[in-house]
Amino acid sequence: MLKNYICRTAAFAAALFMLLLLPGCGPSQDANNTVSKLKVFSGGDQYTLPDSDFEHQLVIVAEAPGEKSLLGGTSVRPAVNASLQVQLPENSALQVDPMSIKTDMGGAARFKVSAKSDIGDHYFSIVPESNPDKALTVHFTIGAKISGGEQETGVNTQLADPISVKLVNKDGTPAANIPVHFKVVSSPSSGTSGATVTPSTAITNAEGEAQTVVKSGKNSGEYHVGVEINEENYHIRQMQVRILALDAWKVVINVLGALALFIFGMKLMSDGLMKIAGDRMKKILHFFSRNGLVAVCAGAAVTAVVQSSSATTVMVIGFINAGLLSLTQSIGIIFGANIGTTVTAQLISFNLGVLAMPAIALGMIGLFTGKRSLRGWGESCVGFGLIFYGIGLMSAELKVLSVLPSFQNFFQMFDCTPSASGTMPLGPVLGALLVSTIFTMLVQSSAAALGIVLALAGGGLINFYTAMPLLLGTNIGTTITAILASLGANRPAKQAALAHFLFNTIGAVLLIASFYIPSGNKHIPIYLAFINSITPGDVFAEVPQNIERHIAMAHTIFNVLNALILLPFIRPLAMLCEKIIPPRKGGPRTQLLEPHLLATPTAALEQVVKAIRNMVRDSWRMIDQSVNKHFVKLDIDQDAFDKLAEEEEKIDTMQADVTEYLVKIMRKHTLTDHQSELIPLLMHCTNDAERIADHTANIIALAERLSKSDKKLSNASLKAIEKVWHILNNEAESVIEALGSTNEKEIRSALKSERKINKLTKEFEEENIERLRKGSCSLANSVIYIELLGELEKLGDHLSNIAERAPEIQKHYINL
């Protein structure tokens, strides 16, 4: 059954990986030169003075027909090697070079455009040879020069400098007394959002210049001011200038709010999946002990299913602290957790925003159902929806920032674009790595950090080169969760947290080293070139293609390769961790009621069963000492009595701890029906185990009374006590064994012993009455003897209570 479940889990995780990876795999050279659409990437709608070159090259991007995968794979592909022809009107005032060109691997084509002397708006067409109906018309203006564009300001704020238009005649002399009309033609939302131009019409002066002052509206983003001239010698109607407004506080609040929604969605989805699959996590973890490869695979499967490497690593720390896993086993699991967590980046990299609201709506239905599994699915669906809703909001806000030169300049500090030799600059690489590591440590979520990296890349603020060290930083930063979880744990748990940190750091160092190994003649780092070769689109083109999928693939492949490279070194890594954090003398100190196991009720309840078993064993050792040493042999030792009293207090404390732990399990989770039924049984068993220890003081008191008597117990009484004790001790051993196994024979034996004890104590009491009648024993000793038999009978009752509940405990214990 265990193998079948693990196989099903592994198959599900493998299918999830394949479903996510297949739409992103395949050679990027899957060329298609059929053009479905042409668009201007940059350099359109420019203006210049007569007989001069336009400032920027015209960059046109050709798109090929795309196929959408089931999960929204690549829907837009570049038209590679597509032939484009330039068609100029007769006697055009524009010159274009070249007149014919083929697109590059990114579907881009570049043109140099120059102006002649004709004043006004001018147009030409670019026609794809494979599909002439998809021709694109582009616009340029001759005779005007505009300054004051691209300014940044706050919302509802006047620009620092005016927008200035300079007009010239065909011979290059200033064009004076020409009316120039200004108006706000577009804003970040519908309408003009309150943006104004003053004046709306200005007359050019002797220098041919006209100016207007612009005040931004209430929304952050791009505002376009249109410039129109409609005089006899000037027919200019399509000039536009862009200004940029930013409500900094609003953007910051919106980004943080979107990030909070994203993180909450991740937690909700993880919690929901844990409710669905968490009860079976212990089964898989027990399977980890076979070898390192199995541990890696199982760790990857568990993390892929529950969608949280932090949950897996914290669970591992808890199992180590409870003595359920060794350091070597845990390292393999941690390796696998790093692979499993890459599913998050794969999911985010797909365009699944359209599913956000349907997922939330569907999940809310599941949340209001009575079944635990459906509530788990409901939480997962709501969390899934919030993830993509949050990432959508965050991407929208970051796109606002992406057009601001100040933010572009900020991210330029971390630009990791290689030099001409193909090697990436070390300073920006380390800077990006450090910033990402610190941020991930602060939010304690590598998924949140990855989401921001993908949003920044999608918004054009960072390129693929810069994204790589940011990815490595998220890997290192996420280890803080395991480190914090291990602070109150034993040394093997601390060693496992250290192994997690070393594993991710070693992998980061190895990948950074590859940044300085160029690939062939392309002058691209070898690892990045490899990722580009297996992911559709050319991420290094003028217009980066499919950058989010490239980042997700780079993240997945890196973690898989890192695990494979370090897999043979699991034991040396464990030895290194033990050398840095030496093991505790006398072996590791385990903690049964491990708080980190509360995240997994199945494992936590098993630990409670172990704690109760220990309580029964320790209580019975105290009873054994008090009966056979202090009562039967009349060894009156006050120091020994004091130690027994201290041990009895420890049992009382353990009872309180177990009860509190069970209450925490009830409060922390929505339990299964079986688990809900098990908790009261365990509470009753805990109480019985504690009451067994309480009888120690009663038996010692009887021993002290007997020691003060003139006469000792008769041989018949001592033999009776010995006989009852023998049966009672067998009952105790059976109960202890039953709590640690699934052996039903021990339960039957314990219940049978209890019936024998009840029968014997009744017989021995009657025999004692007969001895009293004959005067063969003292009254005082008879009372002590009868009281001891009563204590032994009560002990049998407590053991019997536990034995009666043991079948249910065993049933749940098997299902754990």
Residue 13 reports pLDDT greater than 90? no
Instruction: Give yes or no for residue 375 having a pLDDT over 50.
Output: yes
DSSP 8-state code for residue 168 = B
Selection from 96, 173, 101 nearest residue 140 by Cα: 96
CA 477 – CA 485 distance, rounded (Å): 14
- Verify that 254 and 150 share a domain, yes or no: no
**What's residue 446's pLDDT?**
80
Residues 285 and 431 in one domain: yes
Crossing angle of helices 479-486 and 309-321, rounded to 10° = 30
Which of 264-268, 419-423, 505-509 is the most confident on average? 505-509
Residue 484 lies in a domain: yes
Domain range for 800 is 600-815
Report the pLDDT averaged over residues 584-599.
63
Query: Does residue 393 lie in a domain region?
Result: yes
| CATH number (domain holding residue 617) | 1.20.58.220
Q: Is 233 helix (H, G, I), strand (E, B) or coil?
A: coil
Per-position b or e across 710-746, b if 16+ CB within 10 A of its CB: eeebbeebeebbeebbebbbbbbbbbbbbbeeeeeeb
pLDDT at 9: 46
Q: Are 304 and 16 in contact (CB under 8 A)?
A: yes
Residue 515 in any domain: the answer is: yes
pLDDT (tens digit per residue) in 131-169: 899 999 999 998 888 988 888 888 889 999 999 999 988
347 and 324 both lie in a single domain: yes
Residues 706 and 631: beta-carbon distance below 8 Å: yes
Q: Which of 24-28, 208-212, 776-780 has the highest mean pLDDT?
A: 208-212
* CA pair distance 665, 671, nearest whole angstrom: 8
State the average pLDDT over residues 629-647: 86
* Same domain for 133 and 149: no
Rounded mean pLDDT, 273-297 = 63
Instruction: Output the pLDDT for position 288.
Output: 55
Is 286's pLDDT higher than 80? no
Residue 666 shares a structural domain with residue 535: no
What does residue 207 show for φ and ψ, rounded to 5 degrees? -85, 0
Answer yes or no: do 636 and 752 share one domain: yes
Quote the pLDDT of residue 207: 92
Tell me if 808 is assigned to some domain.
yes
Q: What is the mean pLDDT of residues 500-509?
A: 92
CA distance 122 to 109: 20
Q: Residue 159: which CATH number?
A: 2.60.40.10
* pLDDT on residue 472: 92
207: closest CA among 235, 232, 172? 172
Do 124 and 177 belong together in one domain?
no
Residues 6+ apart with CB under 8 A from 91: none
Q: Is the pLDDT of residue 24 over 50?
A: no
Q: Does 341 or 181 have the greater pLDDT score?
A: 181
Tokens linked to 385:
């929806």
Mind listing the pLDDT tens digit for each residue in 453-469? 888 888 788 899 999 99
Average confidence (pLDDT) over 290-318: 73
- Whether pLDDT at 2 is above 50: no
Residue 308's pLDDT band (cuts 50, 70, 90):
low
Do 658 and 782 lie in a common domain? Answer: yes
Torsion of CA 732, 735, 736, 737, to 10 degrees: 120
Kindly report the average pLDDT of the chain as a whole number.
81
| Angle at 555 (CA atoms; ends 554, 561), nearest 5 degrees | 85
DSSP 158: B
What is the total count of domains within the chain?
A: 4
- Identify whether 594 is part of a domain: no
Instruction: Round to whole Å and give the CA distance between 577 and 581.
Output: 6
Amino acid in the structure at residue 499 = A
Which of 580, 610, 635 corresponds to the end of one domain?
Answer: 580
Give the N- to C-terminal CA distance of the chain in Å, as an integer: 12
Q: Is the pLDDT of residue 373 over 70?
A: no
Same domain, 35 and 129: yes
- The predicted model scores a pTM of 0.69
pLDDT at position 69: 44
pLDDT at 599 exceeding the cut of 70: no
Q: Taking Cα atoms as reference points, which of 106, 100, 97 lies closest to residue 54? A: 97
pLDDT in tens, 338-355: 888 888 778 777 767 777
Can you tell me whether residue 71 is helix, strand or coil?
coil
